[in-house]
């Protein structure tokens, strides 16, 4: 078998050592032994020859991982695309910047994050008021490289700050308390692990927080579960922290608590997957909190605004409704509809400066509507264009903060003046890029079953479509997560090298409400893969690209997406980036906290769910003798969500199934978690590895636009969509 005769010479396999001769040199892949292992699942015998790779702390597995990394580094380090990406990303990701100021509830103190061009991490700073000098209170640049600032929670007057240091991206912050004026660290500590969610009492005497149990308090392996709310009294040892909200029998529930802005109530949440229960108590009240909603029949978000409960829910309303109810009589019989369900998805609401601001998603872009507390529509908040916006502020304070960005609009922070109906620029991220060169459009295409799917296309305005353009197709399609526009310096580099980025809104995501999500979960998960494959087919059919010029990328649930797509349609793609993925869908629930995802995927312990999981599980559907595209798998050594076992087993399986193809590379990033490295320098190197690999495989040269292999066009610039009959106005909208 010779998968890519023009680019590789496949030599005979001797034992388990294979020799691959590629365009950039000779590299020997490490040997991987196959060990007899199998499960009998609902009458089927399921072979698992690489199960021995599941033990990440086994010295043999660690040695194997090191050898795989040396193999990968031998291919990646010398790529000219990688070197160029490091230079360019350092240019487009490094600049002086700041976040939206966070005003405290009581007093005038402000907190925010600040970034200096030459530094790797954001600092946390404060001002006594808007006119006072800025004081740096936390500088992670001075910390060890593996430490990150993972949590910040000022008290309501800003005199105290709870902050957490995590280690190597492990999402387990060790929380400390600082006196802000003196910067003195108090001796307080908290119990449990995976701590977070700090919410202070108005009198600063203590706060609520969430944590998992300590090792030894629950059966071994269940430390990932039994998440509970504790109350910490300031100045008291962690051993005295009281557990105040938990569940005795269901280990998968998550619990959280928050004090309302008026300081009178505590709202308690018990969640599992995308449904929850909500309880309430008065601050200082003893005994169990009173239920507002129970039964896990829907998703609820609740706040107290001006003495009234506001409740957003998708119960009987896939795109969500908003209700009100008396705080002291929160039963469903007392709810009154405040805002009905509309065609747009209601994302969130906030009471700010005496008005209600409601964020809607319209075709995956943000619309913010303003109402008074009687439910009267006042107006839409004016935004700079179609993109993603968020809003922040307090009911009791006058400032309305608005943050906005899009694929072609770097993040900007505004204040909104309701009287004049104007946005006033507060800060714009000084990205050193001429964004006027780029454009985004939204197109629609039909999936396998005829469902219409929307997709963003981002590219240079002067890009000439010659039917063979390099395209990066990326997606997610799960957990009700929406793929909305945002500015990406990495996309800038990809486009400057002559590429286009395509982002479809797959079923399973949250762009179009609960029904859209549910159409891509459990036994309907195949719809997500069909939507993604249909996007690739559409891009090829419509003359944007060819399989040889098409790269795909996905992380986490998106890693499952690209893993499934490539084993189902290996002919469609040339290169694959699969980051922190789930790939063994028959055993995923056995690692870490992953059993909580059974609500989204199902579990192979269930005979009916096993059938469809077995049908798409990427690891179990790799076929010997099939030519697979080149693939780079990236995992995080300290990933708190997805165990690196998936990437290890999948690489071993592919190297055995297609020894003359690929290459199939594995990088397990040290001191990294689910979101990559702990410093900007590491993020840049990791992105340069990943995209340098993709660019090399699909023939993109480093440097200026359109330097794309031998296919660089000599035609004069023209409209990028000057190809008769490609789109109708109904199919395309500019973003």
Closest of 336, 413, 416, 431 to residue 379, by C-alpha? 416
CB contact at 8 A, 561 and 618: no
Task: Output b/e per residue, 197-227; b: 16+ Cβ within 10 A.
Answer: bbbbbbeeebbbbbbbbeeeeeeeeebbbbb
- List own/partner pairs for 172-178 with CB under 8 A and 24 or more apart: 172/640, 175/151, 175/209, 177/234, 178/137
For residue 39, give both structure tokens: 């499960």
Cα atoms in the 13 Å half-sphere on the side-chain side of 644 = 23
CB contact at 8 A, 702 and 85: yes
CB contact at 8 A, 343 and 330: no
CB contact at 8 A, 512 and 539: no
Decide: residue 42, CB within 10 A, 0-12 exposed, 13-18 middle, 19+ buried: middle
Instruction: Quote the Cα angle for 285-287-291, to 5°.
Output: 90
Give residues with Cβ within 8 angstroms of 590, minimum separation 6: none
Active site residue 556: yes
Cis peptide before 555 (omega within 30 of 0): no
Give residues with Cβ within 8 angstroms of 333, minimum separation 6: none
Give residues with Cβ within 8 angstroms of 330, minimum separation 6: 280, 290, 292, 309
DSSP code, position 17: B
Of 447, 556, 617, 672, the catalytic one is 556
Active site residue 674: yes
Distance of alpha carbon 280 from alpha carbon 136, whole angstroms: 37
Distance of alpha carbon 394 from alpha carbon 158, whole angstroms: 15
Of 255, 517, 589, 674, the catalytic one is 674
CB contact at 8 A, 583 and 638: no
* φ, ψ at 533 (rounded to 5°): -60, -40
By annotation, the residues acting in catalysis are 556, 674
């Amino acid at each position: 078998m010779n998968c890519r005769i023009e680019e590789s010479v496949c030599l005979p396999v001797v034992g388990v050592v294979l020799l691959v001769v590629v365009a950039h040199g000779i590299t020997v892949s490490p040997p991987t032994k196959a060990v007899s292992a199998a499960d009998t699942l609902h009458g089927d015998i399921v072979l698992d020859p690489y199960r021995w790779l599941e033990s990440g702390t086994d010295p043999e597995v660690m040695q194997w991982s090191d050898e795989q990394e040396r193999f990968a580094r031998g291919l990646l380090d010398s790529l000219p695309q990688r070197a160029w990406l490091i230079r360019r990303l350092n240019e487009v990701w490094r600049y002086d910047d700041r976040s939206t100021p966070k005003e405290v509830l009581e007093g005038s103190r402000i907190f925010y994050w600040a970034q200096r061009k030459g530094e790797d991490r954001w600092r946390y700073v404060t001002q006594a008021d808007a006119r006072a000098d800025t004081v740096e209170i936390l500088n992670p640049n001075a910390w060890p490289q593996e430490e990150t600032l993972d949590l910040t929670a000022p008290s309501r007057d800003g005199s105290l700050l709870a902050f957490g240091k995590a280690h190597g991206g492990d999402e387990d912050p060790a929380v400390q308390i600082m006196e802000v004026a003196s910067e003195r660290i108090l001796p307080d500590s908290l119990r449990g692990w995976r701590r977070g969610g700090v919410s202070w009492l108005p009198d600063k005497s203590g706060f609520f927080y969430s944590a998992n149990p300590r090792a030894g308090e629950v059966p071994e392996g269940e430390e990932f579960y039994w998440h509970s709310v504790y109350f910490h009294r300031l100045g008291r040892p962690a051993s005295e922290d009281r557990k105040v909200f938990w569940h005795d029998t269901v280990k998968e529930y998550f619990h959280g608590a928050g004090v309302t802005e008026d300081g009178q109530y505590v709202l308690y949440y018990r969640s599992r997957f995308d449904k929850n229960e909500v309880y309430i108590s008065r601050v200082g009240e003893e005994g169990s909190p009173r239920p507002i909603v129970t039964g896990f029949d829907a998703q609820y978000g609740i706040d107290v605004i001006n003495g009234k409960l506001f409740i957003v829910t998708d119960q009987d309303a896939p795109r969500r409704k908003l209700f009100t109810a008396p705080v002291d009589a929160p039963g469903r019989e007392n709810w009154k509809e405040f805002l009905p369900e509309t065609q747009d998805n209601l994302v969130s609401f906030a009471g700010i400066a005496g008005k209600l601001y409601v964020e809607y998603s319209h075709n995956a872009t943000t619309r913010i509507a303003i109402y008074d507390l009687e439910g009267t529509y006042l107006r839409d908040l004016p935004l700079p264009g179609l993109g993603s916006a968020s809003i922040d502020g307090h009911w009791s304070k006058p400032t309305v903060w608005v943050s906005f960005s899009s694929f072609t609009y770097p993040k900007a922070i505004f204040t909104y003046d309701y009287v004049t109906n104007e946005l006033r620029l507060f800060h714009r991220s000084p990205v050193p890029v001429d964004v006027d060169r780029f454009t985004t459009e939204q197109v629609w295409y039909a999936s396998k079953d005829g469902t219409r799917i929307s997709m963003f296309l981002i590219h240079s305005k002067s890009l000439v479509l010659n039917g063979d353009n390099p395209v990066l197709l990326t997606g997610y399609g799960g957990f009700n997560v929406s793929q909305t526009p945002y500015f990406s310096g990495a996309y800038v580099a990809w486009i400057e090298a002559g590429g286009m980025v395509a982002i479809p809104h797959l079923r399973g995501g949250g762009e179009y409400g609960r029904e859209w999500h549910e159409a891509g979960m459990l036994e309907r998960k195949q719809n997500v893969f069909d939507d993604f494959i249909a996007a690739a087919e559409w891009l090829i059919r419509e003359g944007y690209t060819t399989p040889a010029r098409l790269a795909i990328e996905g992380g986490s649930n998106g890693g499952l997406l690209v893993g499934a797509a490539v084993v189902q349609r290996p002919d469609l793609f040339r290169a694959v980036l699969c980051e922190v993925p789930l790939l063994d869908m028959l055993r995923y629930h056995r690692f870490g906290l992953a059993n909580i995802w059974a609500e989204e995927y199902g579990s192979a312990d269930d005979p009916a769910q096993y059938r469809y999981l077995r049908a798409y599980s990427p690891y179990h559907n790799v076929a010997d003798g099939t030519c697979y595209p080149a693939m780079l798998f990236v995992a995080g050594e300290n990933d708190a969500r997805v165990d690196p076992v998936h990437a290890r087993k999948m690489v071993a399986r592919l190297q055995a199934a297609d020894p003359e193809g690929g290459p199939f590379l594995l990088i397990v990033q040290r001191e990294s978690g689910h979101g990559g490295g702990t410093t900007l320098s590491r993020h840049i190197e990791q992105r340069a590895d990943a995209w340098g690999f993709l660019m090399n495989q699909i023939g993109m040269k480093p440097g200026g636009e359109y330097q794309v292999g031998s296919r660089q066009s000599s035609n004069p610039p023209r409209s990028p969509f000057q190809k008769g009959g490609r789109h109708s106005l109904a199919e395309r909208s500019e973003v």
